[in-house]
């Protein structure tokens, strides 16, 4: 493997240098001897660089009328660049690049002089510097990606118990898409089956879209996950609105967004949008509390339209949300089989189509209805195809999560 290039000295090319005692006719001879010689450094007697003679510049001067006659016997400093880029060998290549760009064109043709404690060592070429910078950036990018990929392992481990619980509770009657835009992301889901007197009586399902995506989004999901665990420990698993209120307080405290003295814009104004859904199959109803997220409900048997239920407009945890904020428990009777869809705004807002506009709730509803009679896994496949085709060549704008759950009430 090639040596890692980090400093200007790593780019060193040993090159012959001359002193001001050399005359222009000597320079002419040196250039004539060696056609590959592009430039000649000129040094003081003590080894400090004085300037750099560029071959082309030198020749263009010496071919002017009468110049050979006038200058052949003069010192070689006549056509020398008196301010070449001179850098210490220990200078880091990032800084060297900045200096080279600042110095402009001539560095690209002449290169730069490398010194150690001011004394000449040799020269460096910009092409080598560019190779080194490309390699450095590739290495830094690789490290960043590896780091994020490992963070993804952690994020997926946290979601794993809910995935397992979903697969156990709904072997064939749910589907889930969890696609962070940047390997890790700000969307998270949580699922726990609930029991009453030892019998299955429904479940609690949670979908959160934390501010941001990528690494900051993923940080937020960890806070949200702890907030949720603590809220459930305190308030149980039957009251979605109480859980959102508790999570709001937890996030505000954790990020110091409750205290204006500490919590300023420089700190943080983060939180989450999302939804908590409690299905009680004995009571034959669904209770949901939502922060800015719509809930889609579709009848599985009848040919009815898909319903879109809006959530409350307050986000959870943000600096602008009061500490004592409350959310509303919406109760929806479920007397026959339904399929509900919990979604994050990454689905609705994705830009695409011929007009480059948002996917939108209407199109989402239409896509879901078209898959009404399909099995859960077929509907998932059909949705993914429709969504991908809509997105087309457009970039993914946000994390995308969609959780579909079939609700089968206990027959009364």
Partner 1 sequence: MEKFYLAATSNTPEVDFDFPARRLLLKGESYPESAAAFYGDILNKTSAFLDEMTGETLHISVQLNYFNSSSTKMLFSLFDRLNLAAEEGNTIVLDWHHDIDDETILEFGLELAEDFPAIEFHAHAIES
- In the complex, which residues of this chain contact partner 1 (CB under 8 A)? 209, 211-214, 265, 269, 273, 313, 315, 318, 320, 345, 348-349, 351, 355-358, 360-362, 395, 397-398
Question: Minimum distance from CB of 101 to partner 1 (Å)?
Answer: 21
Cβ-based nearer residue to partner 1, 82 or 356? 356
Cβ-based nearer residue to partner 1, 82 or 395? 395
Cβ-based nearer residue to partner 1, 173 or 293? 293
- Give the pair of three-digit tokens for residue 396: 């993914």
Answer for the pair 315, 291: CB distance below 8 angstroms, yes or no: yes
CA distance 312 to 321: 12
Answer for the pair 340, 402: CB distance below 8 angstroms, yes or no: no
Cβ-based nearer residue to partner 1, 110 or 398? 398
Question: Minimum distance from CB of 149 to partner 1 (Å)?
Answer: 19
Q: Tokens 């900051």 sit at which residue?
A: 216
Query: Beta 49-54 vs 39-43: how paired, if at all?
Result: antiparallel
CA distance 361 to 375: 22
Question: Minimum distance from CB of 368 to partner 1 (Å)?
Answer: 16
CA distance 308 to 297: 6
C-alpha angle 177/180/183, rounded to 5°?
125
In this structure, what DSSP letter does residue 259 have?
Answer: -
Q: 400 forms bridges with which residues in the sheet?
A: 179
Question: Minimum distance from CB of 312 to partner 1 (Å)?
Answer: 13
Question: Minimum distance from CB of 358 to partner 1 (Å)?
Answer: 4
Q: Where are the alpha helices (DSSP H) in 14-125?
A: 24-33, 55-62, 67-71, 93-103, 105-110
Answer for the pair 186, 399: CB distance below 8 angstroms, yes or no: yes
Question: Minimum distance from CB of 151 to partner 1 (Å)?
Answer: 17
- Give the pair of three-digit tokens for residue 114: 């490398």
Cβ-based nearer residue to partner 1, 260 or 356? 356
Cβ-based nearer residue to partner 1, 288 or 318? 318
Which residues does 78 contact at the CB level (< 8 Å), separation at least 6? 24, 61, 71
Question: Minimum distance from CB of 360 to partner 1 (Å)?
Answer: 5
Cβ-based nearer residue to partner 1, 126 or 364? 364
Question: Minimum distance from CB of 351 to partner 1 (Å)?
Answer: 5
Question: Minimum distance from CB of 357 to partner 1 (Å)?
Answer: 4
Cβ-based nearer residue to partner 1, 81 or 349? 349
Answer for the pair 290, 335: CB distance below 8 angstroms, yes or no: no
3-state secondary structure at position 116: strand
- Give the pair of three-digit tokens for residue 74: 């003069």
Cβ-based nearer residue to partner 1, 181 or 278? 181
């Amino acid at each position: 493997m090639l040596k890692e290039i980090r400093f200007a000295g790593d780019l060193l090319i040993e090159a012959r240098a001359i002193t001001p005692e050399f005359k222009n006719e000597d320079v002419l001879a040196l250039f004539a001897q060696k056609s590959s010689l592009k430039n000649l450094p000129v040094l003081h007697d003590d080894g400090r660089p004085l300037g750099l003679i560029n071959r082309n510049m030198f020749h263009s001067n010496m071919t002017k009328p009468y110049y050979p006659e006038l200058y052949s016997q003069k010192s070689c400093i006549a056509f020398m660049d008196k301010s070449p880029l001179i850098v210490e060998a220990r200078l880091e290549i990032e800084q060297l690049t900045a200096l080279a760009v600042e110095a402009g064109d001539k560095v690209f043709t002449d290169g730069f002089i490398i010194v150690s404690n001011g004394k000449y060592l040799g020269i460096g070429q910009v092409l080598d510097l560019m190779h080194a910078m490309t390699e450095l950036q590739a290495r830094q990018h690789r490290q960043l990606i590896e780091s994020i990929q490992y963070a993804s392992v952690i994020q997926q481990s946290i979601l794993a118990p809910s995935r397992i619980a979903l697969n156990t509770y709904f072997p064939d009657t749910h589907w889930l898409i969890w696609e962070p835009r940047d390997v890790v992301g700000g969307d998270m889901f949580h699922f726990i089956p609930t029991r009453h007197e030892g019998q299955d009586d429904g479940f609690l399902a949670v979908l959160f879209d934390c501010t941001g995506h990528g690494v900051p989004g993923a940080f937020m999901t960890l806070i949200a996950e702890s907030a949720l665990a603590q809220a459930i420990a305190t308030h149980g698993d039957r009251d979605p609105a109480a859980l959102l209120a508790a999570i709001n307080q937890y996030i505000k405290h954790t990020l110091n967004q409750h205290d204006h003295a500490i919590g300023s814009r420089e700190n943080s104004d983060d939180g989450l949008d999302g939804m908590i859904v409690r299905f009680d199959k004995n009571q034959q109803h669904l209770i949901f509390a939502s922060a800015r997220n719509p809930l889609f409900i579709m009848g599985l048997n009848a040919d009815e339209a898909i319903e879109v239920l809006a959530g409350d407009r307050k986000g959870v945890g943000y600096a602008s949300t009061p500490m004592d904020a409350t959310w509303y428990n919406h109760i929806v009777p479920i007397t026959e089989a339904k399929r509900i869809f919990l979604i994050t705004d990454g689905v609705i807002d994705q830009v695409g189509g011929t007009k480059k506009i948002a996917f939108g709730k209407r199109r989402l509803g239409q896509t879901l209805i078209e898959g009404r009679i399909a099995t859960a896994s077929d509907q998932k496949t059909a949705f993914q195809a429709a969504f991908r085709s809509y997105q087309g060549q457009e970039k993914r704008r946000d994390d995308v999560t969609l959780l579909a759950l079939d609700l089968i009430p206990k027959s009364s």
